[in-house]
Chain A
Amino acid sequence: DQQVKQNSPSLSVQEGRISILNCDYTNSMFDYFLWYKKYPAEGPTFLISISSIKDKNEDGRFTVFLNKSAKHLSLHIVPSQPGDSAVYFCAARETSKAAGNKLTFGGGTRVLVKP
Chain B
Amino acid sequence: DVKVTQSSRYLVKRTGEKVFLECVQDMDHENMFWYRQDPGLGLRLIYFSYDVKMKEKGDIPEGYSVSREKKERFSLILESASTNQTSMYLCASSFGGEEKLFFGSGTQLSVL
Give residues in A with beta carbon < 8 Å to B.
Answer: 4, 6, 9, 32, 34, 36, 41-46, 49, 89, 91, 93, 100-108
Contacts and interface: CB of A to CB of B under 8 A. Distances in A.
Given A101-B50, A101-B97, A102-B33, A44 B42 contact: no
B8 to A, nearest CB: 13
A41 B99 contact: no
Contacts of B58: 102
Contacts of B28: none
Ranked nearest first, the 5 interchain pairs of A and B with the lowest CB-CB distance are A43-B103, A105-B43, A107-B42, A105-B42, A32-B99
Given A41-B105, A43-B90, A102 B42 contact: no
B44 A105 contact: yes
B99 A103 contact: yes
Interface of B: 4, 9, 31, 33, 35, 40-45, 48, 50, 56, 58, 90, 92, 94, 96-106
B6 to A, nearest CB: 8
B34 to A, nearest CB: 11
A108 B101 contact: no
Given A43-B4, A43-B90, 11 more contacts: A32-B99, A43-B106, A44-B90, A45-B103, A49-B100, A89-B42, A100-B50, A101-B99, A103-B101, A105-B43, A107-B40
Contacts of B96: 101
Nearest to A106: B42
Given A34-B99, A43-B90, A43-B106, A101 B41 contact: no
Contacts of A42: 105-106
Given A101-B97, A102-B58, A108 B105 contact: no
B106 A102 contact: no
B43 A100 contact: no
Contacts of A4: 42
A92 B98 CA distance: 13
